[in-house]
Structure 1
């Protein structure tokens, strides 16, 4: 039996560092910040890094580094990029229990000023995992990241059938579908992890408004019966409840952010791994934040995911601002 099976995407990620301009377009109702490139020009890439990404593999590696017996269930292509995914999983001690067919997903991450990025995503085989070909092995935890197309229907079917504890980290793609559309997943969850914007989308609130993460947490908890909910809020930290207490933690002070890709996966997997290992909610929040902060300080979604000894050392030394209070629905 596996401790954790991750269900999600696998991609090959190309990180392209370019000279770009940041422009703003303001309308009556919104202010958009866009990366701009000259039309018809040739854009020189200053630095190029190629890695394996995708929410399913990012989190699988994170769980394995915490000493949990881990498998990845997803769909990759029968191509060189798919082999690159398999090689990475094998090197990290993650079993592949998925399917090889079609073309492996690919993402081009355009790094820009302000340490943010725009992603060009080709989903490829990720969207075509059918229920017939997806065999979920026995596991204590099933961790689900965002899936689309045929794969989303398969995710719903597997969640409905499993006896494992289920954790879910939706993307904005899924969150904007709303509570009713995701109810077949939400009603089976033990843990829900999402960011502030996704929380607002899931509730049907205007994500452009400055909703407090505490208000979002209470609203979600009143609408769904999920035992544990965690919401990340960038530079404002993270908040979580297990319906007994609420904990909130500030991010690490003085952190230099190099690249944001994979930070959400790192928090969610660090948080769930801590719970799977029997840690209290406070320690789980700290573990998630430490894992995310390690990823933020370097390029690549997996390179600096913490292993168990590193996490233990950081937890012992962590002195961030931390608040704890009784849960009040």
Structure 2
């Protein structure tokens, strides 16, 4: 769905890459005999899902000046995502992540092949090349935490946060904890905690919530982060705990036949932000509206698990409305 000539509402900043998904489910990385490349990367997934749902989005990230990078950028453009924030790296390649699957569709990240984690283009996102005009136009900035693992990309994250604050954007953080992206995972916790002061909406997987806050209850986390407007805690196909403008509850996702869980959390987040854009944040004060928004987000996430790949599997509005 193209969003040309409509103001960008959501900026998604971070990694875009190829998930190399094991063709054989239930096998270890040494047992897998073939892989299929699927476009992915959490912020890129969110940007694409938003565009498909009809919310104008932009992606800011860095790819290698290689065929893989060009393919990813063309995909973003074809879906209708604004690509004015794409940077190209002459030395470092576009990232590939190897992903194994269980027979139930759950995925495990299995490394980067021959390269170290910091030897890919997204690690070198340049803060001086961020398109400031996008921040003057948008309403939301969506971030993950993987870029904090790399010195140059980390600087870009904090520059983006400055621009978001200057332009009164709402800041949405999906923790998306992936230890394999860090050369020193012990550095992650204090850096992630530095982000709390900026965040308006926080999305966590249950294990991330327990790691960071020692609880998976969204209301308790909201109480800990006094200035936050909303917390979502997901747990695969189990219930989602939410606290939005002090309205607390749980939502049970619809049951589907799962093929691949890659990108389901990103689609869930996109569904949530899309509904915020449709309703307006003030409507979160209505308890029924808050619950409906989370139910919609769960439906988007669930449908994404019924097909392979993260971006390829994202549903369109008609598929969602048939179930929601």
Q: TM-score range by the shorter chain?
A: 0.7 to 0.9
The alignment's C-alpha RMSD in Å is 2.3
**d(CA) in 1 for partners of 2:209, 2:74:** 35
| Structure 1 counterpart of 2:109 | 119
The answer to whether structure 1 residue 50 and structure 2 residue 37 are counterparts is yes
CA positional deviation for 1:20: 4.9
The answer to whether structure 1 residue 264 and structure 2 residue 265 are counterparts is yes
The answer to whether structure 1 residue 187 and structure 2 residue 200 are counterparts is no
| Structure 1 counterpart of 2:87 | 99
- 1:123-272 aligned within 5 A: 124-136=120-132, 137=134, 138=136, 139-146=138-145, 147=147, 148-149=149-150, 150-162=152-164, 163=167, 164-173=169-178, 181-203=191-213, 205=214, 213-214=216-217, 217-224=218-225, 225-253=227-255, 255-272=256-273
Pick the structure with more helix per residue. 2
Conserved 8 A contact 1:191-1:227: yes
**d(CA) in 2 for partners of 1:114, 1:19:** 8
Shift in alpha-carbon separation, 1:56–1:36, aligned structure 2, 3 A: closer
| Structure 1 counterpart of 2:99 | 109
| Structure 1 counterpart of 2:53 | 66
Conserved 8 A contact 1:160-1:188: no
CA positional deviation for 1:293: 0.7
TM-score of the pair, normalised by structure 1? 0.79
TM-score of the pair, normalised by structure 2? 0.81
1:38-62: CA deviation from partner (whole Å, max 9, x where unpaired): 6xxxx533xx432211112111111
Shift in alpha-carbon separation, 1:74–1:92, aligned structure 2, 3 A: same
Larger Rg: 1
Give aligned pairs, total.
Answer: 286
**d(CA) in 1 for partners of 2:219, 2:197:** 17
1:144-169: CA deviation from partner (whole Å, max 9, x where unpaired): 12323121231122113312111110
**d(CA) in 2 for partners of 1:19, 1:186:** 38
| Structure 1 counterpart of 2:286 | none
Structure 1: gaps (5+ residues): 22-34, 206-210, 316-329
Structure 2 counterpart SS, 1:60: helix
Structure 2: gaps (5+ residues): 1-6, 180-184, 281-288
Conserved 8 A contact 2:25-2:100: no
Pick the structure with more strand per residue. 1
**d(CA) in 2 for partners of 1:247, 1:104:** 40
Conserved 8 A contact 1:17-1:112: no
Shift in alpha-carbon separation, 1:192–1:95, aligned structure 2, 3 A: same
